[in-house]
Structures are given as structure tokens and as C-alpha cells.
Amino acid sequence: MSTSKAPNNKNKKNKKSFSSLLFGNLFGSRKELSILEEEQVQSPWRTVIRIFRSNKVSMTGLIVFLLIFATVMIGPLIKPIDLSFSESSQKDIAPGFDMMKVPKELQGKIHDIAVGPTFSIGASTDGQLYIWGKTRITSAIDIKNLPRDEKTNQLIDMGKIVKVAAGTDHVLVLNEDGQVFAWGNNRQGQTRIPYEVEFVDIKDIYAGYQLSIIVTEDGRTIHFGSTMINDYDEFHQYQGQIDKITMTQDAVIGLTYDGEVVYLGSKVNAYSNIPENMGRVIDIASTASTVAAVNDEGKVFVWGNVTASKGEGNVPETDSKIVSIQGGRFHYTALTEDGKVLAWGANYYNQINVPEKLNNTTVKQLFTGSYQNYAVTEDNELYTWGLKGYLMGTDDLGRDIFTRLLNGGRMTMTIGAVAVIISTIIGIIIGSLSGFFGGKLDLVLQRISEVVSSLPFLPFAMILSSIIGNSLDSNQRIVLIMVILGLLSWPGLQRLVRAQVLSVREQEYVIAARSLGIKRSAIIFKHILPNIVSIILVSATLSFATSMLIESSLSYLGFGVQAPHPTWGNMLYGANNSIVIQNYWWRWVFPSIALGVCVICINVIGDGLRDAVDPKSHER
């Protein structure tokens, strides 16, 4: 009995030793070794890695850098950048996702909603007024600041609100007594209500770009605001016949009582070229640059500045009859007779991606504007889709800073990495040849290195960039920046390599290689360099951070990568004025944090590698 169990125990012990060895090699865990065993097993590189891993600061820097690196390399694949994109209605928007955050008090009793570029205004069934989103238009104007009495400075009692309208930077509301109130930006008089409004019965109110229009019950239109930007003729021939209107960013179109679409301006343009044979039109809407009409048969007509890129003319097919239509900034939504929602046009912010849940329910109210959509079902459930906001805000051209930060990070790191590769190759070659051969070659190469080192780096790079770069396109300029950084930053590395080669070339293994007749180039690159590669790695790591800073400095000063290509440096260059620093903090804070954290992490990694490579550093 006892003799049969002994081999099994031995096998188990062998299996345990094998599994321990296997998993120890894979995951780095192993049993304690004696001093002699440690010396026999552990290679110099393993010692470097062990020392580096024990440095908590360096390991933290490595983890953070790898996260940033993975984010800026993978992120642009998920959120690619359109270099030609800009959106004036979305400029300088603060971070946050509250553009469609409808107040809870309004949900379930929505009567009317109007959508502005970054904010929305709504009226409940009991006449209460609600405002949400990015309501600050300028540093001094906030849509949430309701109108006050000029004499007493008290909030005006607007009564029960029945209609709301949102323009680019102002709003209008109409109460049940027929009174109109307006506030917001008034630089063109778009909130200065004419006295004659008090003596008419108001049917509807409209707000556009620096223009407000009131449609009366007897079919007249009353305007206030700018008619220079918007082609509107207050003496148009259709006064007394208008049932409703719609406004593009520069024109006004009307719908008469008998279902005819008419142009209310005086110029001949794409909007005045109204399609013929539309029949009786029951509803009209507009985007920033097109107009759409729905006739009594449910057919949609689109005209104006229709472009294939935005797709506003690509009306989807439907088996149901369209009964109403609304327009956003560059898209349309339509409601069918069976309560289904259709959407088409540009899809910059998923504004035409109608929620699938709406396919299984009936929509009774639909509100569209800018890049937002609100749908209320028969069960009083509210569905929203479109632009909710921006993680890091937008810049002065309405571009998403988060998207530019991702793509700019990839550009900055790529330029830094390529520059380091160029400088490292040059430094290794010149330093190795100079240190190994010495003599006249060493003298000539060191004088060349001193000449390059004596050049004032940033001014010289700026001069080269301005002289040569002006004749190049944006992509060629990026390559030029990489080459300039690489060609001007190698002297420090070559001196380090030269010093190491000078100390190594007299050692026994180099003398033995010479005695065996091995070629000098093979001795340098196969025998000497592998023994000093750790020093080169440390230097290259620190140079990577320096190259990123120099590229960012050049771009910040306007001599590096030019817009619209983003880098962290030129993103800071775009925020280089006191107004931006005071009012739009997100435009410089996020690029600064990204660049600062990345450079600090790289320097911490380099310091950790230097301590791990140099055993004497632990004795200090």
C-alpha cells in the first residue's frame, strides 16, 4: 500500500513544480532564489525591468501615458475629424450634455416647444414657461434672464403662455391675452416690439436670425429686426393672405390661405424659384438654406440651395401620407397621418436617427429645430434625439474640442515620435563613428555637432518653417516640421553615444573582435551599440517629450502645423487672447491638461528608466 502511493506523490510534486514554473514564466511570479541562483537566472534587462516596476511613480506615469497613447491613436478611428467642418451656430459652447434636458415639471404636459441653436424654450398646458440648454448667448446675455420692467426692475408677469418661438439669439412668447414678449440679443432690434402689435389679433409668432415676424389673424405680417441680412419686403403684395411663414438664414417664405407658397422678399434667388404644380400646400418648413412644402396629397417638395452633401432633398419614401413638416439647421422631420416620424438631411449629430421605439407608438406632437428633435406620443411620453451637447465644448468655429483633442494628440505624438526617430538615427551614427574612429573624423563631426548645437533652436525652426513652409501645402508642412525637429535635435544624443563608445571600445571583447578580423562596422553596430542601447533608450524617451513640447511651442507661436489640422499646440494658439482665457476656459484648459500630463508622464518614465539602467543611482 505505502509503496504504491509514493510514486503518485512524486508525480504530483513534479506536476506542481512544472505548473509553478510554467505560470511563473508567464506571469512573472516565481519562488525565492538564493543569491547564486539569482545571478545565474536574471539577465540585465530583467533587472532593469524589475527595478523600473518597483518605482511606483514611473509605473503610474507609464500606465497613464499608455492610456493617453491608446486613446489618441484609437479615438480618431471612432471619431474621425472633418477638416472642412465649421458651424457658426455652435461656436464657443460650454461643456455639458444638457441641450435636450427637458425639465421634469414640463414632461407630461407639453403644449409647445421652440428650439434655438443651443437652447430650447417650452410652454406647458397650464401656461408655464420653461427654458433649458446652453442659454448663455454672450458674456452679458443669458436667455434665462426673463424680461424686467425698465422702471421697477421687477420681472414682468407674462401671464399664461400659449406660443413660443426661438431665434438664433433671442426668443418670443405669446400669452393667452395676445401680448408678445421678447428678450435676448437686441443689436438689430429683433426684440423691440412695434407699438402696432398691441392693436392686432395675433395668430402666430416667428423668430429667426436677427429677425422676428408676427402673423396676424387677418393674414398680415409685422416684422421687427434686420431686413438687410434677411430678404424680406414689408410691403409685399401678399399682405392679408398669409396663413403661416418659415424663415431660412437669409429669406422669408409664406403660405397663403388658399395653399399657395409665396416668396416674401424682393430679390431673385434660389428660394424665390418656387416649384410649379405643387397643388394645394398644407404646410411649409425650412432649414438654413432650403425650403420644403407638403401638399394635400402628402408629397414633399424641396428647393433652395439643395446640396447632395447635406441630403435635404433626399425625401424618404413612405406608405403613409405626410401631414406636417418641420425643419432644423440642416435636416427635416415629418409626421405622417398614422403618427409616424420621418427624418432626413445632414446627420452631423445623429439628428435624423429617429428612436426605434417611436416605430411602435403614435406621435401626436413633433418639434424640430437646429440639431434637436422632440416627439410626444399619445401616452404623453417624451422622446428626444439629436445634439445633446459636447463633452469638452466647442471652439470659435463651432468644432468639437474633444474630437480635435483626439486627432490633435495623434498628430502631436506622431510628429514627436518621427522627430525622435530621425534624431536618434543621426545621433547614433555620428556618435558611434566619432567615438570609435576618433582622430580627424571625430574632430570634424564634433565641430559640425557644435555648429548645430549653437543654433538657437526655436528661432531657427521658426525661420525655416516660415521661409520654406509658405510654399508647401498642409501635409508637406507637417513633414517639414518632423524633419526640422529631427535634424536640429541630434547633437545631445550623439555626445552621449560618443562618450559611451569611447569608454567601451577599449574593453576586452572589442579588442577580441578586432583580433578575430571582424569588420569595424560590425563591431560598432553588433557589439558596442547593443551594450549601450539602454542609455539610448532613456535619451530617446526624454527627447520624445521635448519634441512634443517644441512642436506644440512652434504651433502655439503660429509657425508649426497650421489649421485646420489640429495639434495640441495650435489648439492653444487659437485660445491665445484674453477674451478666450476669461470667458471660454474650456478652449485652453483641456489641451493644456492633455499636453502637460502627457509630457510629465514621459519625463517620469524616462527618469525611471535612467534610475533602472544606472545601478549607482540607488547608492545616492
pLDDT digits (tens, 9 = 90+) for 208-230: 999 999 999 999 999 999 888 88
Of 477 and 544, which is predicted with more confidence? 544
Range with the lowest mean pLDDT among 45-59, 64-78, 266-280, 404-418? 45-59
Using 50, 70 and 90 to split pLDDT, how confident is the model at 382? very high
Kind and range of the H or E element at 165?
Answer: strand 161-166
> What average pLDDT does range 124-142 have in this prediction?
93
The pLDDT, as a whole number, for residue 618 is: 53
Between 504 and 224, the more confident residue is: 224
Gyration radius of the chain's alpha carbons: 35
Query: What's the average model confidence in pLDDT over 318-328?
Result: 94
What pLDDT sits at residue 488? 85
Confidence of residue 24 (pLDDT cuts 50, 70, 90): very low
Residue 32 has a pLDDT of 56
Residue 483 pLDDT class (50, 70, 90 cuts):
confident
3-state secondary structure string across 342-405: EEEECCCCCCCCCCHHHHHCCEEEEEEECCEEEEEECCCCEEEEECCCECCCECCCCCEHHHHH
Looking at residue 528, the DSSP 8-state letter turns out to be: I
Q: If one looks up domain 110-230 in CATH, what number appears? A: 2.130.10.30
CB contact at 8 A, 250 and 231: yes
* CA-based nearest residue to 559, from 478, 617, 490, 495: 478
In whole angstroms, what is the distance from residue 103 CA to residue 118 CA? 16
Query: Looking at residue 613, what is its pLDDT?
Result: 75
Mean pLDDT of the region 428-442: 88
Mean pLDDT of the chain: 87
- For 347, list phi and psi in degrees, rounded to 5: -130, 45
Which pLDDT score is estimated for 21? 44
Question: Looking at residue 575, what is its pLDDT?
Answer: 82
pLDDT band at 204 (very low <50, low <70, confident <90, very high): very high
**CATH topology agreement for domains 110-230 and 267-389:** yes
Q: What is the mean pLDDT of residues 42-48?
A: 67
Supply the pLDDT for residue 619. 52
Residue 205 has pLDDT above 60, yes or no: yes
* pLDDT confidence tier of residue 561, bands split at 50, 70 and 90: confident
pLDDT at 470 over 70: no
**CATH topology for 57-86+399-619?**
MetI-like fold (1.10.3720)
Instruction: Look at 39-53, 192-206, 511-525, 578-592 and tell me which has the smallest mean pLDDT.
Output: 39-53
If you average pLDDT over residues 9-27, what whole number do you get? 46
Element (H, E) at 120: strand 119-124
Beta bridge pairs of residue 394: 400
Residue by residue, DSSP assigns 476-524 as: HHHHHHHHHHHHHS-HHHHHHHHHHHHHHTTSHHHHHHHHTT--HHHII
pLDDT reading at 103 higher than 90? yes
**Would the pLDDT of 6 be above 50?**
no
* pLDDT higher than 60, residue 20: no
Mean pLDDT, residues 4-33: 47
Could you tell me the pLDDT band of residue 31, with boundaries at 50, 70 and 90?
Answer: low
Query: pLDDT value at position 616?
Result: 57
The arithmetic mean of pLDDT across residues 184-206, rounded, is 93
Residue of 262 and 229 predicted with greater confidence = 262
Q: Taking 90 as the threshold, does the pLDDT of residue 48 lie above it?
A: no
- 616: cell is 549607482
Which pLDDT band holds residue 456 (cuts at 50, 70, 90)? confident
Q: If DSSP codes are grouped into helix, strand and coil, which group holds residue 238?
A: coil
Cell of 295: 401638399
The owner of cell 501635409 is 475
Stretch 243-253: mean pLDDT, rounded? 95
Q: pTM, whole model, 2 decimals?
A: 0.83
- What pLDDT is attached to residue 294? 97
The confidence score (pLDDT) of residue 573 equals: 85
Extents of the domains making up the chain: 57-86+399-619, 110-230, 267-389
CATH class of 267-389: mainly beta
pLDDT bracket for residue 281 (50, 70, 90):
very high
Most confident region among 121-125, 223-227, 467-471, 491-495 by mean pLDDT: 121-125
What's the pLDDT at 518? 81
Per-residue pLDDT at 376 exceeds 80: yes
Q: What percentage of residues in the chain have a pLDDT greater than 90?
A: 58
What's the rounded Cα separation, in Å, for the pair 551 and 473?
18
* Residue 410: pLDDT over 60: yes
DSSP string over 166-201: E-SSEEEEEETTS-EEEEE--TTSTT---GGGGGS-
Q: When comparing pLDDT for 30 and 192, which is higher?
A: 192
pLDDT at 1: 43
